Amino acid sequence: MGTAVEVSGLRKQYGATLAVADVSFRVDEGEIFGLLGPNGSGKTTTVECVQGLRRADDGRISVFGLDPGRDTSRVRRIVGTQLQDSALPDRLRVAEALRLFSAISPGGPPWRQLLDEWGLATQRNTAFGDLSGGQQQRLFVALALVADPKLVVLDEMTTGLDPAARRVAWDLVDAVRARGTTVLLVTHFMDEAQRLCDRLAVVVRGTVIARGTAAELISSQLHDHVVHFTVPPSTDVTFLSRVRGVSGVDAEGGAVRVHGSGPLLARVAHALVERGLEPDDLTVETPTLEDAYLALTTAGTGAEGGP
């Protein structure tokens, strides 16, 4: 697998404002790579430099072997973009938008094919302003693919969407990758990053503080799992404290919480069955990327799971 994007030591300043202090990451061909961080962390400036829309003050950027600063026109021909503030005239119809973008960027799939592929055929004569949020995202993704790019940049594509439209947008990202296209996804939603991204970089105040898969970031910061279940109030569950990996047992009334690490659910379940206890509400609470993100940003430390 080759390298699609490589960013090393990126720095960008606007007057007295340091937007990007030190950003480095690598995106492999065919993967969905996420830039995760709060608003104002420098994510959008970073991807604008990757696309050649802004020139970096320092550092090195390579997009399929091209330098966006020197090879700007060539980079833009192989990169499709859905920017954070994407918008179209309200009266522009779906088919008109695709036909226009296709004329500007020839060489890609026929625009009528994109209408069908992205579920827009029935909206071909619908004005942009009359589309739902999910339909607008479908159109933006179709427009980003009109030139058959090798890399697609999606910047905060689900901001402002309702939960149903967000799910539609997530399916679209999966579909883009299924075409063989590399995706650079910018988001500040932890659930979105955990659901979609093969690997990600966490950017805070213009600096990458962690890189790796969601699982790597979670395991680097959090090790505690919690198993929940209920038993009759008089049941003695102190034996669970001797189960391998258990760090603590809390029991209040009939509600029990077992803290620990490793395959905790399997070990606790086995110990309970051995004692003749079979609670039907046995569940495990596992750390999430949001938990790891809060731990990272609160502690001010970083974790590295690879370039």
Amino acid letter for position 165: A
Q: Which pLDDT does position 299 carry in this prediction?
A: 61
Residue 39 bridge partners (DSSP): none
Tokens of 105: 């960027």
Strand order in the sheet with 255-260: 246-252, 255-260, 225-230, 283-285
Q: Please give the residue range of the domain that contains residue 262.
A: 223-285
Together in a domain, 92 and 201: yes
State the pTM of this model: 0.79
Q: Which pLDDT does position 35 carry in this prediction?
A: 95
Residue 293 in domain: no
Together in a domain, 192 and 120: yes
R_g (Cα) of the chain, nearest Å: 24
Across the range 137-146, mean pLDDT stands at 85
Task: Give residue-wise pLDDT tens across range 154-183.
Answer: 988 887 778 887 888 898 889 889 989 999
Amino acid letter for position 28: D
Task: Give residue-wise pLDDT tens across range 48-75.
Answer: 999 999 999 999 999 999 999 999 999 9
Together in a domain, 215 and 271: no
Across the range 136-162, mean pLDDT stands at 86
What residues have CB less than 8 Å from 195, skipping those under 6 apart?
Answer: 170
Together in a domain, 254 and 189: no
CA distance 70 to 67: 5
Amino acid letter for position 119: G
Residue 298 in domain: no
137 pLDDT band, cuts 50/70/90, is confident
Mean residue pLDDT across the chain: 89
Q: SS3 letters for 80-91?
A: EEECCCCCCCCC
Q: Where are the alpha helices (DSSP H) in 34-93?
A: 43-50, 72-78
The position carrying tokens 């790796």 is: 212
Residue 188 in domain: yes
Residue 124 in domain: yes
